[in-house]
Structure 1
Amino acid sequence: MLTEGDPAPSVTAPMATPEAARDAERGNYTSDDVAEFDLETVLEDGPVVLAFYPGVYSRTCTRELCELRDWRAELAELDANVYGVSADTPWSLLAFIDEYDLSYPLVSGFNTDVIAEFGVQREDGPLRGIANRAVFVVDPDGTVTYTWSADQPLTFPDTDELATEIRAAGDP
């Protein structure tokens, strides 16, 4: 797993956005509904929060993504882009965004190296290839400034601490 001070990898991956989920009819998604996530490009707008999670529609991940949705709404003044990242396909991510009214994009690690590049990919067992639960803050220069990983299910990062780290990452 990457640590604080490490350069973030230059990654691109398919992305499901709230706009596409809202505009498309659920169950009828096409490749036209899928955007591209490019970390270097989104860093041009300020710090980035990447919240890695195993997969949509699981009990713990659904709770985590909804808590992140609610937390993000409370801290709208933070100058950071928030992205969820999992091994799910972009079409299942679009359906999840639609069903749970998420206001932030979800990045698909399906058939990409984004999860492995951040060092959070499960290497063995029946869920090999999915992401372990982890959060990274990346500053606009592409440096990882904060990391958190879960040791137990239903464990989430301290949002006050995360907010402090996001603010620090945005300060020149």
Structure 2
Amino acid sequence: MVDFEVVSLPATDHVAEGDRAPDFTRPLVNAEFWEDASLSDLTADGPVCLVFFPMNGSFPATYIWKELRDRELDDHLTVVGVSVSTPYAHKRLIEDREMDFELFSDPANGVAEAYGVTHDLDGMAGVSEARPATFLIDGDRTVRYAWVAAEWPDFPPYDDLEREIRALAD
């Protein structure tokens, strides 16, 4: 039995396929350290799958990263996450889940706002996080594929995402 309520999220005017992905600079965390990096730094090396996810510790965050890790999608392009969690929390998540992915820390949720994927948390005035969303971005920062959650919780269509990643990487 499901012990949480599925909630429809309001429509959002998010970044869409064909749009230029907004650039940003935030701390980029890996298992060893973090340093400021920009999306354009990453796309200069090739396509990027930008994954917005709820704060670390939530079951959607754990499930999303487990699924992406198991599919080995980072063999085809750079897969990187964005959430409101701090660099310290990201480092723990990476270590605990034995992830090879890097994660942008965006505590003020400004990147999610720029992409149109914010989710206001019920009963917490002024507190928001990113709703689950994935964007495949080419080397010119053109969005080639976009998926944004329409309900809470919702998860990326992993088979579709994998197919699009393989097509973009070829």
TM exceeding 0.5: yes
Alignment pair present for 1:116 and 2:121:
no
When normalised by structure 1's length, the TM-score is 0.81
TM superposition shift of 1:65 = 1.4
CA distance in structure 1 between the aligned counterparts of 2:105 and 2:167, rounded to whole angstroms: 27
Deviations 1:92-145 (A, max 9, x none): 100111111111111111136211111111246427321011111111111111
Aligned counterparts, 1:63-102, within 5 A: 63-72=63-72, 75-78=73-76, 80-102=77-99
Shift of 1:77: 3.8
Q: TM-score, normalised by structure 2?
A: 0.82
Amino acid at match of 1:35: E
1:30 is matched with none
Letter in 1 for 2:27: P
Specify the SS of the correspondent of 1:15.
strand
1:163 corresponds in structure 2 to: 162
Q: Which has the higher helix share?
A: 1
SS of the residue corresponding to residue 129 of structure 2 reads: coil
- Is the Cα–Cα contact under 8 Å of residues 54 and 60 in structure 2 kept in the other structure? no
May I ask how many residue pairs the two structures share in their alignment? 155
How far residue 162 of structure 1 moved from its aligned partner, in angstroms, is: 1.3
Structure 1: unaligned runs, 5 residues or longer: 21-32
User: Residue 155 of structure 2 aligns to which amino acid in structure 1?
Assistant: F
For each residue in 1:27-80, what CA deviation from the matched residue of structure 2 results, as whole angstroms up to 9, or x when unmatched? xxxxxx3222311111011110011011111122211111111122xx4541x1
SS in structure 1 of the partner of residue 128 of structure 2: coil
Supply the AA of the counterpart residue of 2:55. Answer: G
> What is the letter of the counterpart of residue 135 of structure 2?
F
**Kept after mapping to 2: 8 A contact 1:17/1:105:** yes
In the alignment, the residues of structure 1 paired with residue 22 and residue 44 of structure 2 have an alpha-carbon distance, to the nearest angstrom, of: 15
Aligned-partner Cα distance in 2 for 1:156–1:145: 19
What is the aligned-residue RMSD (CA, Å)?
Answer: 1.9
Q: Is structure 2 residue 8 aligned with structure 1 residue 11?
A: no
